[in-house]
């Protein structure tokens, strides 16, 4: 059974926080062979979302208020844990909804790994600037205007 979980940092259990940090480390640091500081002091103010399938985390993202990370409301740390099943697409769609619900986002900005740019284009994000090195990988800033 699939379930969406949405929590602020202070609502996370120790086990939930551990699972989030473990999965982010597995994917962004170990799998992508990228050494960077994942614990960036932004989780405490973020809205954390994940999809659980049969009690296990299948995808995760966090949403940050404008001015916390980027100048606009931002979505980051998007990961698909159960791959090839559409959970990455689902969690990102839920993160866009959360950006509007929790932060009133009229415009959302992301810092995408360059190779994932086409993934975010599916949601209406467009590149705003040139590629740059960030956290050991090439990234591009992208924005989406909410017309709701």
Domain assignment present for residue 64? The answer is: yes
Residue range(s) defining the domain that contains residue 45: 2-105
Q: What is the Cα–Cα distance from 50 to 32, expressed in whole angstroms? A: 21
- Show the 3-state SS of the chain: CEEEEEEEHHHCCHHHHHHHHHHHHHHHHHHCCCCCCCCCCCHHHCEEEEEEECCEEEEEEEEECCCCCCCCEEEEEEEECCCCCCHHHHHHHHHHHHHHHHHCCCEEEEEEEHHHHHHHHCCCCEECCCCEEECCEEEEEEEEECCC
* Res 55: pLDDT: 92
Residue 118 located in a structural domain: no
The per-residue pLDDT for range 92-121, each reduced to its tens digit, is 999 999 999 999 999 999 999 999 999 999
Q: Considering the domain boundaries, does residue 131 fall inside one?
A: no
Number of domains in the chain: 1
Query: What CATH number is given to the structural domain containing 32?
Result: 3.40.630.30
Within a domain: residue 36? Answer: yes
In a domain, 140, yes or no: no
Judge whether 138 lies within some domain: no
Q: What is the pTM of this model?
A: 0.93
Is residue 145, in this structure, part of any structural domain at all?
Answer: no
């Amino acid at each position: 059974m699939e379930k969406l979980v949405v929590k602020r940092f202070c609502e996370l259990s120790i086990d939930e926080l551990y699972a989030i940090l473990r999965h982010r480390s597995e994917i962004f640091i170990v799998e992508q062979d990228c050494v960077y500081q994942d614990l960036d002091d932004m989780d405490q103010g973020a809205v954390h979302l994940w999809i659980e399938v049969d009690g296990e985390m299948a995808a995760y993202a966090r949403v940050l208020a404008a001015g916390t990370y980027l100048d606009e409301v931002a979505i980051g740390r998007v990961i698909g844990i159960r791959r090839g099943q559409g959970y990455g697409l689902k969690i990102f769609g839920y993160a866009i909804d959360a950006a509007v619900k929790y932060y009133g986002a009229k415009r959302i900005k992301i810092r995408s790994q360059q190779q994932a740019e086409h993934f975010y284009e599916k949601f209406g994000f467009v590149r705003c600037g040139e590629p740059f090195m960030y956290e050991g990988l090439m990234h591009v800033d992208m924005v989406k205007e909410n017309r709701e």
